[in-house]
A and B are shown apart, each in its own frame.
Chain A
Amino acid sequence: RKEVEQDPGPFNVPEGATVAFNCTYSNSASQSFFWYRQDCRKEPKLLMSVYSSGNEDGRFTAQLNRASQYISLLIRDSKLSDSATYLCVVNSPKWDSSYKLIFGSGTRLLVRP
């Protein structure tokens, strides 16, 4: 079983749609959680950190459920520019002081006009 699992998609949605991505992680000792965005042939860029209380940044809302080991990302009012691969990322468990990142394989989003 992969440490971080995501639906690879692609999700093909019209502009203005709301789309939700889900992710599960296997290690309950993971401490920090993130969504990164990766455009084709570019580096991953941090979209947002994810907190247990949930957090929102404009059209983007992230949620963490530690009990279920489940992370979500909601994008409202999709724009063409949101088309990218969204990576669910957790860091190494608390006994590993490197805080290295463990990546899901990514969910591809295509927003059409």
Chain B
Amino acid sequence: GAGVSQSPSNKVTEKGKDVELRCDPISGHTALYWYRQSLGQGLEFLIYFQGNSAPDKSGLPSDRFSAERTGGSVSTLTIQRTQQEDSAVYLCASSWSREQFFGPGTRLTVL
């Protein structure tokens, strides 16, 4: 079946612009996660959705980051006023049990 999909695959933006990253989870997976992987860094958790609710936003690095999920399916991660330190690969994962399955990621470059 179809896996987790993310768009765009690559995004280059200028410092100060807003960006939106999209995630389509595996159908039927109620849990959705956003992580990011910076150059030379490990993966770090950003936010967790159960259905349309986000009970854990503890990993969002600043109030410039926000996310929403609609219809228990698609999720959008928004970064406002991007900074160079936001450059990273943003990965989405979905799950219906303990195991999480990742999408291909969005590589964000902030110039």
Chain A residues with CB under 8 Å of chain B are 31-32, 34, 42-46, 49, 87, 91, 96-106
Contacts and interface: CB of A to CB of B under 8 A. Distances in A.
B1 interface: no
B42 A104 contact: yes
Nearest to B100: A101
Contacts of A45: 102
Contact of A98 (B41, B56, B99, B104): B56
Contacts of A34: 99
A62 B18 CA distance: 43
A32 B97 CA distance: 11
Nearest to A42: B104
Contact of B33 (A31, A43, A101, A106): A101
Given A100-B59, A103-B43, 12 more contacts: A31-B98, A43-B104, A44-B102, A45-B102, A46-B100, A98-B56, A100-B33, A100-B48, A100-B56, A101-B35, A101-B45, A106-B42
Interface of B: 31, 33, 35, 41-45, 48, 55-56, 59, 91, 93, 95, 98-105
Contacts of A100: 33, 45, 48, 56, 59
B98 A99 contact: yes
A105 B99 CA distance: 19
A46 B55 contact: no
A91 B56 CA distance: 14
B99 A49 contact: yes
Contacts of A102: 45
A29 B102 CA distance: 24
Contacts of B100: 46, 101
Contact of B98 (A91, A104, A105, A106): A91
